[in-house]
A = this chain, B = another copy of it.
Amino acid sequence: MKDKITQLKDLITEMRYYGTAQGSLMWDLWTQMPSAGAAYRHNAIGFISGKSTELIQSDRTKELADYFMENDWRGHEDVIERGMIRNFLFTYDQTTKVPAELQVELTVLQAKAQNIWKEALQASDYEMFKPTLTEMFELQKKVADAIDPHEHPLQVLSATMEEGIDIHQIERLFAEMKTPIVNLLKRIQNSDKQITDELLNGEYAKEDLIDFVAYLSEAIGLSKENSAFGEVQHPFCSCMGPRDARIGMNYDNYKMAVWAGIHESGHALYSIHCNDQVADYGLWGGIGGSVHESQARFYENIIGRSRAFWQHFYPEVQKRFPKFQNVSLDEYYKAVNAVSPSLIRVSADELTYSLHPIIRFEVEKAMFDGKVTLDELPDLWNAKYQEYLGLTPPNAQKGVLQDVHWSMGLFGYFHSYTLGNLYDGQFHHALLKDVPDVYEHIEQGNFSSLNNWLTKNIHQYSAAYSPDELIQKVTGEELQVKYYIDYLEKKYQSLYQL
């Protein structure tokens, strides 16, 4: 088996090189490419993607896959090597079922659709995006059908992005968490306390936000040695190598910039804190889907909206933004955690956030169930927002067009944000058991006990464990709703004196 493992390591290294080339072409496309270069660039990306698919569909890959499917690797001693094989078979299984031509078609369409989506978003014109969205939706159905024609297409697509995901389990978890969140929201709305985030609004010089986000991300563990920032519409983090994270940012306003900055830094830390063996075996970049989102949202919310965090950083805020000089830490902390249902997922408060991906999950389910047409999509979207959050989007920009995901062909991904919150509640519970004084360290601006715990338990392994294995390993049980709800209850009871 040793020989085969070495062969597999070489193969995966090559696949990752293609991924890095694609990553570089995409990062550049998104952050700085001259517009006249776009058409050619899309074709170049399609070509490299095709080469990568050719490799995974080659005889060389098939022989290795066949070998490991026929030999018991699950008993193999080395955790990372075992993880590499598991991860490879997962990817192989998903990818080889999609014909190479379909994969190329998808990559070319992704690049095109993202540009059209950007224009449609700017124009707030759903009709402008609809033909391309239709194309993408049809193509994704074809992809699902090619992988498994007998399974629900949303299940198939979700499972390509996250190992072991089960849309029936998601339905169950979402049903279990929806009620307590809606109840908590009602109690907050009926409470005497009126907390708004108004004092965070207003004009900020973009340069100041750029500098502050760079300062925060460095304080929590990033540096120019392992990460770089660019500007995009919708913030994201992508990894171009084991020690090379790229963060696309939007500095339009304070809330967006600061918490997207912390969120994407969370993604980045997860990626670059893998151990050397993981890096060497091409397992870097973390587990896609819920676990990755959990690491981003852990930093963004559980840490980045905690009192301890701002106890340390608030003097710096006041220094950099004089408007806060007469605002107390307590007022600022409350504004940061104000609950106020809104239309835009990425600027939602921590409590109501989870409802946004739940809506999208239900919308996607309806799309793939054939219960809603692409023509009716905005109406369904708007109706659900009215039902869950009590708000109706005034236009497509603030409604169905707001997220980049569908233009990238990501159907079956949104739920991972809310699942990420569930992981976070459970990880947070485990963290406090292991490091009870972690918030005291954070108050001192010392992030090493937190980062050490995350690295030791989660980050260092990157994609070596499956999500199910990881949550079991770190917390001793499978994914639960209760820890996250407990965390929310405790936080908002104190904040709103419920």
A32 CB contacts on chain B under 8 angstroms: 228, 230
- CB interface residues, A 161-210, toward B, < 8 Å: none
Q: B224 to A34, Cβ gap below 8 A? A: yes
Bound CA–CA A240/B45 (angstroms): 12
Q: How far is the CB of A41 from chain B (nearest CB, A)?
A: 6
The listed residue (B21, B36, B225) touching A25 by CB distance below 8 A is B21
A-B contacts, 9 of them at CB < 8 A, read A21-B22, A21-B24, A24-B24, A27-B28, A32-B230, A34-B223, A37-B242, A40-B241, A51-B51
Bound CA–CA A32/B226 (angstroms): 11
Interface status of A492 (Cβ within 8 A of chain B):
no
Chain A contact patch, size range: 35 or more
Q: How far is the CB of A206 from chain B (nearest CB, A)?
A: 14
Bound CA–CA A25/B241 (angstroms): 12
- CB interface residues, A 226-267, toward B, < 8 Å: 226-228, 230, 240-245
Interface status of A368 (Cβ within 8 A of chain B):
no
Interface status of A380 (Cβ within 8 A of chain B):
no
- CB interface residues, A 441-476, toward B, < 8 Å: none
Q: Which residue of chain B lies nearest to A272 when distances are taken between CB atoms in the complex?
A: B36
Q: B224 to A44, Cβ gap below 8 A? A: no
Q: How far is the CB of A417 from chain B (nearest CB, A)?
A: 27
- CB interface residues, A 16-54, toward B, < 8 Å: 16-17, 20-22, 24-25, 27-28, 32-37, 40-41, 43-44, 47-48, 51
Q: How far is the CB of A96 from chain B (nearest CB, A)?
A: 21
Bound CA–CA A48/B22 (angstroms): 11
The listed residue (B20, B41, B48, B225) touching A241 by CB distance below 8 A is B41
Interface status of A14 (Cβ within 8 A of chain B):
yes
Most buried by B among A225, A240, A279: A240
Bound CA–CA A106/B124 (angstroms): 50
Q: How far is the CB of A267 from chain B (nearest CB, A)?
A: 15
The listed residue (B17, B27, B36) touching A47 by CB distance below 8 A is B17
Most buried by B among A36, A47, A224: A36
Q: A225 to B43, Cβ gap below 8 A? A: no
Bound CA–CA A21/B18 (angstroms): 9
Q: A21 to B48, Cβ gap below 8 A? A: yes
A228 CB contacts on chain B under 8 angstroms: 32-34
Q: B25 to A243, Cβ gap below 8 A? A: no
Beyond A14-B47, A40-B242, whether A25 also contacts B20 by CB under 8 A is yes
**Which residues from chain A sit less than 8 Å from chain B, CB to CB?**
14, 16-17, 20-22, 24-25, 27-28, 32-37, 40-41, 43-44, 47-48, 51, 223-228, 230, 240-245, 272, 279
Bound CA–CA A381/B244 (angstroms): 39
Q: B34 to A243, Cβ gap below 8 A? A: yes
Q: A244 to B14, Cβ gap below 8 A? A: no
A14 CB contacts on chain B under 8 angstroms: 47
Q: How far is the CB of A398 from chain B (nearest CB, A)?
A: 28
Q: Which residue of chain B lies nearest to A37 when distances are taken between CB atoms in the complex?
A: B244
A224 CB contacts on chain B under 8 angstroms: 34-35
A279 CB contacts on chain B under 8 angstroms: 40
Q: A44 to B225, Cβ gap below 8 A? A: no
Q: How far is the CB of A344 from chain B (nearest CB, A)?
A: 28
Q: Which residue of chain B lies nearest to A47 when distances are taken between CB atoms in the complex?
A: B17
Q: How far is the CB of A362 from chain B (nearest CB, A)?
A: 39
A37 CB contacts on chain B under 8 angstroms: 226, 240-244
Chain A to chain B: the 4 pairs with minimum beta-carbon distance, closest first:
A37-B244, A36-B243, A40-B241, A17-B47
Most buried by B among A17, A272, A279: A17
Q: Which residue of chain B lies nearest to A20 when distances are taken between CB atoms in the complex?
A: B44
Bound CA–CA A240/B16 (angstroms): 22
Q: B20 to A226, Cβ gap below 8 A? A: no
Q: A24-B24, A36-B225, A36-B243 are in contact. List 18 more A-B contacts (CB 8 A).
A: A16-B44, A17-B44, A17-B48, A20-B41, A20-B44, A21-B21, A21-B44, A24-B25, A27-B28, A28-B240, A32-B228, A34-B223, A34-B227, A34-B244, A37-B241, A41-B241, A41-B244, A51-B51
Q: A225 to B28, Cβ gap below 8 A? A: no
A17 CB contacts on chain B under 8 angstroms: 43-44, 47-48
Q: How far is the CB of A387 from chain B (nearest CB, A)?
A: 44
Q: A225 to B24, Cβ gap below 8 A? A: no
